[in-house]
Amino acid sequence: MGAAAARPTKFASSARISAVEGRWAGLAGRRRCSNVGSIRRRRRRALGAFIRADLFPRAAAAFRKFLLRVATPDAAEAVTGGQSYSLAAEDVLFDYFVAFCRHSYPAQLAAYEKAAATMDMRAPHSWYPYARSIHRKIIYHGGPTNSGKTYQALQALASAKRGVYCGPLRLLAMEVYEQLNADGVRCDMVTGQEVLRVPGSGHVACTVEMVSLNTHADVAVVDEIQMIGDSARGFAWTRAVLGLPANEIHVCGDLSAVGLIRQLAAVCDDEFELRTYDRMTPLAVDEGCLPQGWADVQPGDCIVAFSRQQLYHIKREVEQSSDQKACLVYGALPAETRRAQARLFNDPEGDHKV
Ligand SMILES: Nc1ncnc2c1ncn2[C@@H]1O[C@H](COP(=O)(O)OP(=O)(O)OP(=O)(O)O)[C@@H](O)[C@H]1O
């Protein structure tokens, strides 16, 4: 604005009013001085008021026309009043601009506000309207390994009409799939690697990344819930806990995620219950190594190695130096072979116990 422009003061005389009117008309005629020009430079601010960038030029032009039609000399004085115009006047104008847009383009602003809400990364629970339409109960089965947490959750799953199990491993999904089908509860299996459909099934056992959030379940089981804190895969547990449309969600794991799940339940307006478990048998770390080498391996032992070559080598050693037979499972093993190996190991009548 020109330095010669008057400061915003009260009007005292009609001569002054006409001077301001003249200046208003002159300044408004040059677009940059109408202050709508300043608003133009504030597109981002307008976005914050849900005025989209593509609506902005049209809205700003309409607002400018509107201003020129209705502005009183007072307004002209305030808006064009010398250096003091800058921020304070723009703030005033901006509020009027927003009010004008709300009045003139209600549908556009509402649509953009709705779209912005769905993209609000701070409220992930709102991304799952189906789950939010259900008042869910989250039951946290917490305790150390082998304390029977998953067993209890699976009991609830098996007795439900429609259920879903989500686990971190294909093998766990497969174990549940086989167990439920063996117990007469028809169950599909869905993993990234394979999909097995059982006609008429009401249940599905899947890896957690594969769980469908579009199918209602009476009971859902989310296993190894502490993995929600995993930097690479934790998102899949978060998605399952927030998004599963199930009446009851049984989450199983150690107690490290209790606080977080309790908070998520509160945010989702779900019920929360904590059930804690103790180990049924003690777990102790052996003081020494196997004195007789692989000949000391006992039925039920599990040996972990870090390469395929090592695994085959150890299997050979165990079978040659003891009367045990060993099964093998590793990541690259085809799913069908892995299942056959797991079946061999789990068969109570079989002789593959390592
Ligand atoms: N009440 C029970 N009756 C019969 N078997 C049970 C019972 N509770 C647990 N088990 C068995 O004990 C074993 C360990 O139970 P489960 O897998 O439920 O433990 P967990 O606490 O979930 O262990 P993890 O943390 O390793 O998953 C399983 O083979 C399970 O079938």
Residue whose CA is closest, atom 7 of ligand 1?
148
Helices vs strands, H then E, count in the chain: 14, 8
Residue whose CA is closest, atom 20 of ligand 1?
146
Strand partners for 189: 196, 205
pLDDT tens, position by position, 158-198 = 999 999 999 999 889 999 999 999 999 999 999 998 999 99
What is the domain partition of the chain in residue ranges? Answer: 14-118, 124-276, 293-346
Q: What pLDDT sits at residue 63?
A: 83
Q: What pLDDT sits at residue 18?
A: 55
Calculate helix-pair angle for 149-159, 170-182, nearest 10 degrees.
50
146 lines ligand 1 (CB under 6 A): yes
DSSP state letters, 39-79 = HHTTHHHHHHTT--TTTHHHHHHHHHHHHHHH--HHHHHHH
Q: Which atom of ligand 1 is nearest to the CA of 223?
A: 27
Residue whose CA is closest, atom 4 of ligand 1?
151
Which CATH number is 124-276 given? 3.40.50.300
Per DSSP bridges, beta strands 271-276 and 217-222 are: unpaired
Cα distances (Å, whole numbers) of residue 210 to 129, 158, 229, 338, 339:
19, 20, 18, 19, 19
* Calpha distance 123→66 (Å, rounded): 38
Q: Which atom of ligand 1 is nearest to the CA of 143?
A: 21
Residue 187's φ and ψ, nearest 5 degrees, are -145, 135
ipTM: 0.97
Calculate helix-pair angle for 73-80, 14-29, nearest 10 degrees.
60
Q: Which atom of ligand 1 is nearest to the CA of 279?
A: 21
Residue 279's φ and ψ, nearest 5 degrees, are -65, 140
- CA–centroid distance, 169 to ligand 1, in Å, is 17
- CA–centroid distance, 272 to ligand 1, in Å, is 22
pLDDT tens, position by position, 311-344 = 999 999 999 998 889 999 998 888 778 878 988 9
Secondary structure letter of residue 270 according to DSSP: -
pTM reported for the whole predicted model: 0.67
